[in-house]
A and B are shown apart, each in its own frame.
Chain A
Amino acid sequence: MSEIILTPLDQPGVPLEASNIKPDVFAGKTIEEIKNIEILHGNTPVKLSDFFEVTGESSENPAELKIIIDGNVDRTKRIGEGMNAGEILIKGNVNMYVGAEMKGGRITVEGNAGPWAGQTMIGGELEILGDAGDYVGSAYRGDWRGMQGGTIIVHGNAGNEIGEYMNGGKIIIKGDVNIMTGIHMNNGLIIVEGDAIARVGAEMAGGTIVVKGIIDEFLPGFEYLGVEKDIEVDGQTIPGAFYKFRGDHATKGAKGTVYVAVRGNGHIVP
């Protein structure tokens, strides 16, 4: 696999928008051509080389290309947006929309990611080793079709409205989440290994949410179905005892399932 290394120079106050940083665009270009790729600095188009040092070797085939961003890009948005193949490794923090509309390939963020990571994702893998912001794997504003497929793994915590309008795929949050996880979810799977504050599965119509930690408050629109042991979701068995709920019955014809670990959650059972 060929590697292109982008070393960020000083990140500006007015953020950069770099949906062109992805193997699909870099493939088949020389280093000189890659340096001249256009990105946006606020409302002004600039060259990639104005803000990144570019080294390495490109490849004809995007699937054979790995882009390594060697440092913090916390003022750069939309890295890997719409990417189809190949790999991106970000060795630091990244701003909003990393891997948005991603269709294939793999993105790894070693630091934290801003909000809307993996927005309306269709396929591929997005792994964030630090924390993620709000709206991980969400829909575009006003759209009712969110994430369709692919996998998002967040090792740290995540914010509000994870998997908003989710239609498929898998989101795993190893840390804690804030409120409204799986809001308006229709299909797919969300696993929260840490705690959730409130409103898990709000207005969900379908899909599955598993919370292994503690939920502070639970919604009154759900129906309690009892305790289930060693649950089977997405072809894998999750060991342990879980309270099972169906809902959110505030939504017409809702058939969503929420599993909440029995341990520590006695207060949410009626």
Chain B
Amino acid sequence: MEYVKNVVCPFCGTLCDDIICKVENGKIVGTINACRIAHNKFVHTEGATRYTRPFIRKNGELVEVTYDEAIEKAAEILAEAKRPLLYGWSSTECEAHAVGMELAEETGAVIDNTASVCHGPSVLALQDVGYPICTFGEVKNRADVVVYWGCNPMHAHPRHMSRHVFSRGFFRERGKPDRTVIVVDPRETDTAKIADIHLQVEFDRDYELIDAMRAYLLGHEILYDEVAGIPRETIEEAVEVMKNAQFGILFWGMGLTHSRGKHRNIDTAIMLTEDLNDFGKFNLIPMRGHYNVTGFNQVASWESGFPYCVDFSAGKPRYNPGETGANDLLLNREADALMVIASDPGAHFPQKAAEYMAEIPVIAIEPHRTPTTELADIIIPPAIVGLEAEGTAYRMEGVPIRMRKVVETDLLPDREIVEKILEKVRLEKVREVKASK
């Protein structure tokens, strides 16, 4: 048995970089340091079906084909479409994203990643009001007040707290006892159970609570005796704790980005953080889900100026979540072809969106059998980044980390598949121009 050290985990945005993989006969058979979710991704728990060959659906049946045939057909669909959508990207590496942006421009497509169904609202808000962010190292070494708002890292980011809250830091020698943990969540989650202060906010009333906090912080009286199910005095006490922080940090998740108000909840939370800097140091970090969802936003921003929902239909990048988001295009029945890569909208999109996916050609670049591949007309299996392929990923607070290759495979990595599709699309376009002459 071989031990491969310093492996970076390709699961969540915490991007743990201290995993040890046990490799036997070219297969990962065990892990050390990984959380249970990561362990399952590394060792491929039973039940998962892995595609090892490309498929094309012919007369309703999946027929095994060569990479070349599948790629040729995919390119044909994208080249002919009037409003193709290239969606996913969050579980693959940044070099693949860069080629994806090129493909989007070439095909006049809309390119979007899973941010549009998770932290897209955060991205909208930070464009409106700013982004006072820091790195995990600062949290671990300095933070004395940690706020988790609308997220449950004990289950969703299992090693997040052990790495940044319980762990000892330079100025926080005892770890958790040196920190005050505030959890804002309508439910009594496992994260809330270990909190020093749990604000059990009423469902969908986060904005009202932050509004009250900000007004109090600026020296005004809170209009009502109770806001969002929490008594005025309790809100004031929590604000006092945050105000007196030497170094505070706000982590937030889907509970804030996808409850009523969406990006406006984040907008006001960012402003709360900015206002708190009048008293001490306060920062924030969004609890990003997929390990490289942040990376796509970085790549899309430096390539096009916009972080997600980028529309190339007019030949120049345009951007408007609400119109050019993946779900907007599917629910408004605008897209006429869909390429899915490194995500599973078939399982996670609203039913009406999934129904529309069944009506249009779907290309899935996907290693496993998923609800998306069930709807797909073409399935192209890639090597999995972080296990079988290298690449760059961005941790949730924007730190780039190189993903390692642990085992060998003869499958093509995502980047190469997208490159080959792009090549074919270009040939197809040349052919079209010739034909029109």
Enumerate A196-241 residues with CB–CB distance to B below 8 Å. Answer: 198-199, 202-203, 217-224
How many angstroms from the CA of A41 to the CA of B334 in the assembled complex? 11
Among A202, A220, A247, point to the contact of B264 (Cβ < 8 A).
Answer: A202
The total of chain B residues at the interface (CB under 8 A) is 45
A203 nearest in chain B by CB position? B268
Q: Is B223 among interface residues, defined by CB-CB distance under 8 A?
A: yes
Max count, chain A CB within 10 A of own CB: residue among B107, B211, B315: B211
B335 nearest in chain A by CB position? A14
Task: Give the dominant DSSP class at B's interface.
Answer: loop
Enumerate A118-152 residues with CB–CB distance to B below 8 Å. Answer: 134-135, 141-142, 144
Enumerate A67-124 residues with CB–CB distance to B below 8 Å. Answer: 96, 115-116
Q: Which residues of A contact B208 (CB under 8 A)?
A: 198-199, 217, 219-220
Task: Determine if A179 and B261 form an interchain contact, defined as CB atoms under 8 angstroms apart.
Answer: yes
Task: Determine if B336 and A42 form an interchain contact, defined as CB atoms under 8 angstroms apart.
Answer: yes
Task: Determine if B222 and A43 form an interchain contact, defined as CB atoms under 8 angstroms apart.
Answer: no
What are 22 A-B contacts with C-beta separation under 8 Å? A14-B82, A14-B83, A42-B108, A43-B314, A135-B322, A142-B128, A161-B264, A180-B264, A184-B128, A199-B208, A220-B211, A220-B212, A221-B215, A223-B223, A250-B211, A250-B212, A250-B215, A250-B218, A250-B271, A251-B214, A252-B275, A270-B225
How many angstroms from the CA of A248 to the CA of B334 in the assembled complex? 38
How many angstroms from the CA of A268 to the CA of B268 in the assembled complex? 22
How many angstroms from the CA of A220 to the CA of B221 in the assembled complex? 9
Interface residues of A (CB under 8 A from B): 13-15, 17, 40-44, 96, 115-116, 134-135, 141-142, 144, 161, 179-180, 183-184, 198-199, 202-203, 217-224, 247-252, 270
Task: Determine if A43 and B107 form an interchain contact, defined as CB atoms under 8 angstroms apart.
Answer: yes
Q: Is B210 among interface residues, defined by CB-CB distance under 8 A?
A: yes
Task: Give the dominant DSSP class at A's interface.
Answer: loop
Interface residues of B (CB under 8 A from A): 81-83, 107-109, 124, 127-128, 207-208, 210-212, 214-215, 218, 220-225, 227, 260-261, 264, 267-268, 271, 275, 312-315, 319-323, 332-336
B128 nearest in chain A by CB position? A142
Task: Determine if A40 and B314 form an interchain contact, defined as CB atoms under 8 angstroms apart.
Answer: yes
B315 nearest in chain A by CB position? A43
Task: Determine if B336 and A13 form an interchain contact, defined as CB atoms under 8 angstroms apart.
Answer: yes
B212 nearest in chain A by CB position? A220
Task: Determine if A141 and B313 form an interchain contact, defined as CB atoms under 8 angstroms apart.
Answer: no
Task: Determine if A221 and B108 form an interchain contact, defined as CB atoms under 8 angstroms apart.
Answer: no
Q: Which residues of A contact B312 (CB under 8 A)?
A: 43
Task: Determine if A141 and B124 form an interchain contact, defined as CB atoms under 8 angstroms apart.
Answer: yes
Minimum Cβ distance to chain B for residue A19 (Å):
10
Task: Determine if A220 and B334 form an interchain contact, defined as CB atoms under 8 angstroms apart.
Answer: no
Minimum Cβ distance to chain A for residue B132 (Å):
16
Q: Which residues of A contact B336 (CB under 8 A)?
A: 13-14, 42
Q: Which residues of B contact A134 (CB under 8 A)?
A: 322
Minimum Cβ distance to chain A for residue B221 (Å):
8
Task: Determine if B314 and A17 form an interchain contact, defined as CB atoms under 8 angstroms apart.
Answer: yes
Among A44, A135, A179, A222, point to the contact of B82 (Cβ < 8 A).
Answer: A44
Q: Which residues of B contact A220 (CB under 8 A)?
A: 208, 211-212, 215, 222-224, 227
How many angstroms from the CA of A44 to the CA of B124 in the assembled complex? 29
Q: Which residues of B contact A13 (CB under 8 A)?
A: 333-334, 336
Per CB-CB distance, the 8 closest pairs between chain A and chain B, nearest first, are: A43-B108, A42-B82, A250-B214, A221-B215, A142-B127, A42-B83, A43-B313, A220-B212
Q: Which residues of B contact A142 (CB under 8 A)?
A: 124, 127-128
How many angstroms from the CA of A203 to the CA of B267 in the assembled complex? 10
Minimum Cβ distance to chain B for residue A43 (Å):
3
Among B83, B261, B271, point to the contact of A180 (Cβ < 8 A).
Answer: B261
Q: Which residues of A contact B225 (CB under 8 A)?
A: 270
Minimum Cβ distance to chain A for residue B215 (Å):
4
Among A17, A41, A248, point to the contact of B211 (Cβ < 8 A).
Answer: A248
